[in-house]
Structure 1
Amino acid sequence: MADILVPIFLDNLIKFGTYEANLLRGVRDQVDTLESDLRFIKLFLKKSAGTRNDPLVEELVNQIGDAALEIEDVIDAYAARVTKERRRNLLGKLFHCFGHARVLHGVANKTTTIMNKVENIYNNKEKYGIGEADQPRVDDEEAEQSSIERRRRNVDEADVVGFEKDTTTLIDQLTNQSNLQRDVISIHGMGGLGKSTLARKIYKDTRVVNHFPCRAWVVVSQKWQAKTLLRNVLKSFKQISDENATAEGLKTELKDQLKGKRYLIVMDDIWSTQVWDEVRVAFPDESNGSRILITTREREVAWHASPAPPYELQFLDENESWELLRKEVFRGRECPPDLIQLGKKIAKSCGGLPLSIVLLGGTLAAKNKSYQVWSRFIGNVNSYLAEGVSILKLSYNHLPPELKACFLYLGLFPEDSEINVRHLIELWIAEGFIQSDRSTSIYDVAEDYLEKLIDRSMIQVATKRPDGGVKTCRIHDLLRDLCISESKRDKLFDIYSIDNKVSLNRKSRRLSIQSVESPDFDLPPCARSLFFFDVFSDVPMSKSFWKQIYKSTKFIRVLYLSGIVIRIIPSQIEALIFLRCLIIKDCEVDNVPSCIWNFRYLETLHLDFYVIGSLPKGIWSVMKNLRYLYLAYWMDLDLSNIPRRSLMGEPFWNLQVLSWLRVNNSTALVIAKFPNLRKLGLCFGEEFMEEGELEKVMASIRRLESLQSIKIQKYYTLEPMVVGPRLNSLPSTLTKISWTSVEIFDWDTFKVLARQPHLRVLKIDAAEGRPHELRVVAGEFPQLQVLKLRNLGIKTLKMEKDAMPNLEGLFIDSCPFLEYLAEDELLCRSTLQLVEVIGWKVQDTLRTMLTDFKIKHPDTPCKINIMEHEVP
């Protein structure tokens, strides 16, 4: 718990000290001392990570975590007093400063108590083994891990179904005689997918046995040692005479043993890139087709061992899941007809994870095969899979500290939900999980964390953006159960749902309320984050529940409202003075009070709902710390009312994401106040613009040196504005442009965009217009990877050889006139991976052409999809 809580609290304290620097002048020393103590505690927690098996050390760590929560409560209470006294006169502030100092002195006493305990630990290093924390230890924890790994391998030995295609594909790669160099092939996927089972099937296959005269299988696991690994490989070929041989000696002996032989070495369950670095020299490359097959949960390990893409193992589909469950339960006997449909539901609930199905099959095999017994498993499968959670916990334990909190956080979301990645990143940042220095954008660090969790098979990619980035993600049910159990123990969060109406931990810092008609409990006063998913049914949030939020949980930093009826947001919400992140999406809202702009510390604001009337003015009051601002384009919010003091003051350096900004006569001034924008969404409407104002807008955009993405929407044609030709003044830093308009697209605009040097994604959605020939000439769109055209009057798409040289994906949606795509210049290029044609009408000539192309070029890497909808 403390490993997660202390760094977060330290970050919150530093932020508070930054925001309130002026009011803390009288107590600055106490705050600095507190920061210093917390940094030392953080160092102790990192150093003691290898000695948590000692109950005394573990108890101390738990005490540190509890004390951190208490300290946070005291600091937040102090901060609330500071904020309230902001309005006091100077004499009042001086008088109450002594009270502030007294409060912080009490906080310092708490940390001193903890530091004394830490000092005692360091004075007894030999007793507690802290000095050996970084060395491998044979202890109870390692013994337990070894036991789990043995049970996992026993499960994996089952004859899992669904691997026929995978087996054939990988055997073809292993035995491919066109590549005689020693090659490394990796199988990658989350724990429990059956990587070891697949590797074992391949290892025992007669084609492999006959092809490789020399074979060895070795299990690596997390606790590996080079000598043991090399010795185990060597034992497959000969008896080892010198049991005391060094690692270097074993490498030489193994290399000599493999010389002149075509060999296959399977290294199962690799967790670290150091494994391959350590042993690779022992495997000679004599261009005879030798192979090394590895299995890993870590994509980084797979790529490190070989430049070839790893083989990504997929989840079983519903039919394969039922086949495997039936096989595990009945062992060749027939399944009673009355259990088939029920069994399919049970199998489906395992989420396609072979490990879950095999474990559950073992449980069902030992029970009475009756409808009554099997019915108990519906909706309750995960409670029977504790062993599966233990196996997956190996992956969680292997995560570095900075990733653990980010991973556990996903358990806050409802089961089987697709999580919006951009919202997730904003939440991580607001919670203090993401740390970055000034040289690196905090968004880049957060996206790196996300990629690492994906690479470690902890998160699944649900959908992708056109540029290949992750749009939504999800986690398997077993991993979600792991998130919930670990978070409950560590007081990170608690869940209250229709399936989990349990008593809440009063110390939980986060609460997720899901799919309940009327929460009948008191909110934990210590909560710092509140999530509401599809609650209250069709009944608006009551005044009494709102009162709980701004009375009982007044220190919250994150408020997330999704799929609920709000109606009226009470003005008392301004009592949430520490709010950093406010997300309201897919909600019914009738009225928004002006006090919604009174959150001094707000960094993320996402408002995506229909509201009766206009949003209140005054948003400029929250702009100082705002980093992300999203307002649905239908919201009638005008940022043009800039206070004079804002125009005269410093720019708002923090804002990096802004959507949607309504374009009018003041837009140029607005954009000028946000010099560090990375993403910008502009909405052109019916507003009258004075002559020359549009040029000013484009000029202000051109000065945005960090701008990477711009979205432009034109929803009215009453006052047509020729925006296209002015786009030649867009900054060259842009990598993504999205254009949406109710007007007929001006193809001169396309030629202007073609000159963007770093543009990678281009999306155009406009009115059809007359059938038009689109020709892309050499040199245009030099970096473009994705082109998406929708509702356009394109008849033919022709392309010169050196145009769009890096194009990977072409998406054509609802372009009914399209008859022809350049074949040799476009479809045959090696970079193109996917062509997708969608619409209610697809020309027969185009359909025939694409079908014939696939017949004539069966080996082309390009995948072609044609999807025709019913006529609307």
Structure 2
Amino acid sequence: MADILVPIVLDNLIKFGTYEANLLRGVRDQVDTLESDLRFIKVFLKKSAGTRNDPFVEELVNQISDAALEIEDAIDAYAARVIEERRRNLLGKLFHSFGHAKVLHGVANKTTTIKEKVQNIYNNKEKYGIGEADQPSVDDEEAEQSSIEKRRRNVEEADVVGFEKDTTTLIDQLTNQSNLQRDVLSIHGMGGLGKSTLARKIYKDTRVLNHFACRAWVVVSQRWQARTLLLDVLKSFKQISDETSKKVVEELKDELHEHLKGRTYLIVMDDIWSTEVWDAVRVAFPDESNGSRILITTRVRNVARHASPTPPHDLKLLDENESWELLRKEVFQGRECPPDLIQLGKKIAQSCGGLPLSIVLLGGTLAAENKSYQVWLRFLANVNLYLKQGISFQTLSYNHLPPELKACFLYLGLFPEDSEINVRDLIELWIGEGFIQSDRSTSIYDVAEDYLEKLIDRSMIQVATKRLDGGVKTCRIHDLLRDLCIEESRRDKLFDIYSIDNKVSLNRKSRRLSIHSVEYPNFDLPPCARSLFFFGVSFNPLSKSVSEQIYKSTKFIRVLYLFELKIDKIPSQIEELIFLRCLYIKKCRVEYVSSSIWNFRYLETLHLDFYGMGSLRKGIWSVMKDLRYLHVGRRLALDLCNLPPRSLVGEPFWNLQVLSWLRVNQNAALVIAKFPNLRKLGLIFDGESREEDEVEKVTASIRRLESLQSIKIRKYWRYPMEVGTRLNSLPSTLTKISLKYDGSPFDWDTFKVLARQSHLRVLKITTFAPQQPHDVSVVAGEFPQLQVLKLRNLRIKTLEMEKDAMPKLESLFIKTCEFLEYLPEDELLRRTNLQLVEVIGWKVQDKLKTMLSDFKIKHPATPCKINIIEL
């Protein structure tokens, strides 16, 4: 816990000291001492990460966690009191602030004491076994891993189903005679997915036995040594002499290399966690262009990519039928399942979320039980208790994460089971919590996306859906890993959960609370909470008691997330949440919202998307100083037409990077100019025009946005002027444009204007209006960088394309374009860089279906995948 907590508290302390230096007058020395000590302790935690087996060190780490929480409480309490007393007379301020300064001084003394203990440990490094950062520990942890590995190998011997296609694919790659260079293939996936099982199945296959002159299987795991690995490979081929066993690493590499020369070999390296493994042993495997292969299994995608340019073979979760087949085999060992148990058995199998390891573990337990309906019914009711056996397999993956990724991973456990989590929301929440550390040279969003990719690469997060540009749109977490998140977080007081399935007493010291319930209970929220999440179902009401507590009892809240709730009102008391950084009111029904929604000094993220009433104009600029992300749903789009002109004069707001949706009017151009660092912008053109050059003013403002990457424009039928034809000379940074026309036909002159934008990579065009069928042609030189094109509801009859038009197009999506009859073959479908053409519609023209079907038959080797989906 300390490894996660100390960097967050340190970052919050630095931020607060930077933003509100005037609040810390009189206690600056204590704050500086706290900051210095926390920096020192942070280094200690990193260096001692793998040496926590010493009881003294472990106890000290626990003390550090408690001290960090005290620091956070003391600083927040001091700041809150000073802010409240700004309205009081000077004597009152001095009196009350002095009392909190004493508390702050006491916390600083405690932290200094801990620092002295840390220094004592450093002075006795050998005694406590502390060396370089992240060195692995031994003893208990090693014994635990050995036990886990033993159970994992037992599971792997099971007859896991669903690998037939994977086995054929990989064996074909291993024995491919058209590629004789030594090649490294990899099997990638989360723990328990069956990577080693598949590798073992391939290793024993007769086609592999007959193809390779010699084979070796070595288990690598997290703690590995190059010398041990080389000896293990050699042991597969010959008896190890005393002379060989005494050789150093370089000598062993030479001996192995000499032994393999002139022979076709297959080396399986199972369970690799680090890129350094391949770097350490690769020269021992000769490449004589005779078809030799190395097969590795790993949970870390980056390991697979590092060892070979060949894309890794990603294992998938089992579907419902495969899950039931595997469970049935485990329980009945070839015998028939009684008919009355089939439906129960399918539900038990489904509860495993497609993870073979969990299914096999449950199957082993069920096999020892009576095969009766009542026994299986009880088992299903308590299946989560049995599934917890599998958490230890995932603990290895969690322990291998660096501290900055651990907090981000655990955070996913806050969301309800089986949720598809919006990645953009997740990143904003990570940033609001202080989990993302970034220097000025790197965007905090880039760092957060890098963290997300690392968690995906390490198989801790699953990609649910992708954006058109290939980025991750939504993600999910397997139930077993979610259980691990909850277990670790509850123990470390990171967060707690209240749900229908988990009505346990809440940890009063938990800093974050997530409530998932059909009916929100009346209970006391923990006063130390820093984050509150409320997930509703079908707009169930938030109880008045809980609502009042949010604004009165939990004044230190930094993150407030309200989802799919019915809320009577967001009252003016919300401004009591003086430390709020991140506020989401998403998919809610709200009767009234007070303009106090803008009265937050530290707000960085604001997401308002609800049905309701209230003024969203009054006081808007008061929140803009630190705001980085502002999203207001289309129904509530910011209408700033009545703002006094003087409010738009003055210094720009440099921090805002995301702004949507802004309703365009006579002040829109001035508003956009206030935010020079925007990366994403959403505009709504609705209502009657007030000035003839209104659109030109807006587009002129857009041209000056030197960081703009993405723009979305929605035009309604009430807006009389054309928008798209003005989108010329856009910023060179702008790579993604989305146009949606509601009630008004799309002007194809806009298409030609956009065709000249040399930096455009993603284009989406949607219309909801009748128009005459249109033939579209793209000529050479147009859309020179476009990679993704999506056309929806457009009355296109034919799409003609010259050879050098859209030369970099990779994906073409055509949805509900019911009149489309033709796509060019040679000029489009046969391009080597085109990867996907997807045609979706309530009715796809027979002429187009026939043409695409014939094309696939005539050109089976064309890399383009063609999907035709009729709704």
Q: How far off its partner does 1:123 sit?
A: 3.4
Q: How far off its partner does 1:616 sit?
A: 5.2
Measure the CA separation in 1 of the matches of 2:40 and 2:7: 11
Equivalent in the alignment of 2:517: 515
Equivalent in the alignment of 1:429: 431
Equivalent in the alignment of 1:28: 28
Equivalent in the alignment of 2:16: 16
Equivalent residue of 2:65, what SS? helix
Residue 628 (structure 1) aligned with residue 623 (structure 2): no
Measure the CA separation in 2 of the matches of 1:24 and 1:70: 17
Measure the CA separation in 1 of the matches of 2:731 and 2:637: 28
- Please give the residue correspondences for 1:236-385 in structure 2 after superposition, counting only pairs within 5 Å: 236-241=236-241, 242=243, 243-378=245-380, 380-385=382-387
Q: Which one is further off, 85-94 or 135-144?
A: 85-94
Equivalent in the alignment of 2:639: 638
8 Å CA contact retained: 2:814, 2:838: yes
Equivalent in the alignment of 1:212: 212
Q: How far off its partner does 1:135 sit?
A: 4.4
Q: How far off its partner does 1:28 sit?
A: 2.1
Residue 738 (structure 1) aligned with residue 741 (structure 2): no
- Please give the residue correspondences for 1:382-531 in structure 2 after superposition, counting only pairs within 5 Å: 382-531=384-533
* Structure 1 letter corresponding to 2:623: V
Equivalent in the alignment of 2:613: 612
Measure the CA separation in 2 of the matches of 1:638 and 1:458: 42
Equivalent in the alignment of 2:575: 574
Per-residue deviation, residues 546-593 of structure 1 (Å, max 9, x unmatched): 121122211110000111111212221211111111101111111001
Measure the CA separation in 1 of the matches of 2:183 and 2:230: 19
- Please give the residue correspondences for 1:769-848 in structure 2 after superposition, counting only pairs within 5 Å: 769-848=771-850
Measure the CA separation in 1 of the matches of 2:142 and 2:853: 58
8 Å CA contact retained: 1:75, 1:107: no
* Structure 2 letter corresponding to 1:471: K
8 Å CA contact retained: 1:768, 1:815: no
* Structure 2 letter corresponding to 1:503: S
Cα distance, 1:43–1:172 mapped onto 2, change above 3 Å: same
Equivalent residue of 1:49, what SS? coil
Residue 235 (structure 1) aligned with residue 222 (structure 2): no
Per-residue deviation, residues 3-33 of structure 1 (Å, max 9, x unmatched): 1111111111111112212232433222111
- Please give the residue correspondences for 1:59-98 in structure 2 after superposition, counting only pairs within 5 Å: 59-88=59-88, 98=98
CA RMSD, Structure 1 to Structure 2 (Å) = 1.6
8 Å CA contact retained: 2:81, 2:96: no
Cα distance, 1:213–1:128 mapped onto 2, change above 3 Å: same
Q: How far off its partner does 1:723 sit?
A: 1.6
Measure the CA separation in 1 of the matches of 2:347 and 2:97: 64
Measure the CA separation in 2 of the matches of 1:89 and 1:823: 80
* Structure 2 letter corresponding to 1:179: N
Equivalent in the alignment of 2:680: 679
Cα distance, 1:317–1:263 mapped onto 2, change above 3 Å: same
Measure the CA separation in 1 of the matches of 2:649 and 2:787: 42
8 Å CA contact retained: 1:7, 1:42: yes
8 Å CA contact retained: 1:768, 1:791: no
8 Å CA contact retained: 1:619, 1:639: no
Measure the CA separation in 2 of the matches of 1:727 and 1:605: 28
Equivalent residue of 2:380, what SS? coil
Q: How far off its partner does 1:100 sit?
A: 5.1
Measure the CA separation in 2 of the matches of 1:279 and 1:45: 31
Measure the CA separation in 2 of the matches of 1:236 and 1:768: 72
Measure the CA separation in 1 of the matches of 2:644 and 2:653: 13
Q: Which one is further off, 776-785 or 273-282?
A: 776-785
* Alignment length (residue pairs): 867
Measure the CA separation in 1 of the matches of 2:252 and 2:851: 60
Measure the CA separation in 2 of the matches of 1:592 and 1:399: 42
* Structure 2 letter corresponding to 1:303: R
* Structure 2 letter corresponding to 1:764: I
Equivalent in the alignment of 1:595: 596
Measure the CA separation in 2 of the matches of 1:785 and 1:248: 48
Measure the CA separation in 2 of the matches of 1:541 and 1:306: 53
Note the residue ranges of structure 2 that are not aligned, 5 or more in a row.
Answer: none
8 Å CA contact retained: 2:523, 2:546: no
Q: How far off its partner does 1:107 sit?
A: 2.5
Per-residue deviation, residues 54-82 of structure 1 (Å, max 9, x unmatched): 22211111111012112211111111012
8 Å CA contact retained: 1:745, 1:768: no
* Structure 2 letter corresponding to 1:405: A
8 Å CA contact retained: 2:541, 2:565: yes
Identity of aligned residues (%): 83
Per-residue deviation, residues 63-106 of structure 1 (Å, max 9, x unmatched): 11012112211111111012213344667656665445434322
Q: How far off its partner does 1:791 sit?
A: 1.2
Cα distance, 1:445–1:358 mapped onto 2, change above 3 Å: same
Q: How far off its partner does 1:860 sit?
A: 1.8
Per-residue deviation, residues 730-778 of structure 1 (Å, max 9, x unmatched): 2121111000013211111111111222211100012342121111111
Measure the CA separation in 2 of the matches of 1:134 and 1:77: 35
Q: How far off its partner does 1:837 sit?
A: 1.0
Residue 747 (structure 1) aligned with residue 771 (structure 2): no
Measure the CA separation in 1 of the matches of 2:156 and 2:715: 56
Equivalent residue of 2:48, what SS? helix
Per-residue deviation, residues 691-725 of structure 1 (Å, max 9, x unmatched): 323222111110000000000000133x4112222
* Structure 2 letter corresponding to 1:840: W
* Structure 2 letter corresponding to 1:81: R
Measure the CA separation in 1 of the matches of 2:482 and 2:814: 37
Equivalent in the alignment of 1:555: 556
8 Å CA contact retained: 2:171, 2:208: yes
Q: Which one is further off, 182-191 or 512-521?
A: 512-521
Equivalent in the alignment of 2:173: 173
Measure the CA separation in 2 of the matches of 1:640 and 1:297: 54
Per-residue deviation, residues 835-866 of structure 1 (Å, max 9, x unmatched): 11112222111111011111111122222121
8 Å CA contact retained: 1:427, 1:581: yes
Residue 728 (structure 1) aligned with residue 728 (structure 2): yes
Measure the CA separation in 2 of the matches of 1:53 and 1:688: 71
Equivalent in the alignment of 2:128: 128
Equivalent residue of 1:333, what SS? coil
Q: How far off its partner does 1:445 sit?
A: 0.5
Equivalent in the alignment of 1:647: 648
Equivalent residue of 1:341, what SS? helix
1:857 pairs with one of 850, 856, 859: 859
Q: Which one is further off, 30-39 or 659-668?
A: 30-39
Equivalent in the alignment of 2:104: 104
* Structure 1 letter corresponding to 2:311: P
Q: How far off its partner does 1:538 sit?
A: 5.7
Measure the CA separation in 2 of the matches of 1:786 and 1:311: 25
8 Å CA contact retained: 1:71, 1:110: no
Measure the CA separation in 2 of the matches of 1:624 and 1:14: 18
Q: How far off its partner does 1:646 sit?
A: 4.8
8 Å CA contact retained: 1:524, 1:553: yes
Q: How far off its partner does 1:688 sit?
A: 2.5
Equivalent residue of 1:436, what SS? coil
Measure the CA separation in 1 of the matches of 2:381 and 2:752: 56
Per-residue deviation, residues 21-57 of structure 1 (Å, max 9, x unmatched): 2232433222111111111111111111121112221
Q: Could you tell me the TM-score, scaled by structure 2's length?
A: 0.97
Measure the CA separation in 1 of the matches of 2:28 and 2:692: 53
Q: How far off its partner does 1:133 sit?
A: 6.1
Measure the CA separation in 2 of the matches of 1:848 and 1:545: 60
Equivalent residue of 2:587, what SS? strand
Measure the CA separation in 2 of the matches of 1:552 and 1:63: 27
Measure the CA separation in 2 of the matches of 1:538 and 1:647: 37
Cα distance, 1:257–1:538 mapped onto 2, change above 3 Å: closer
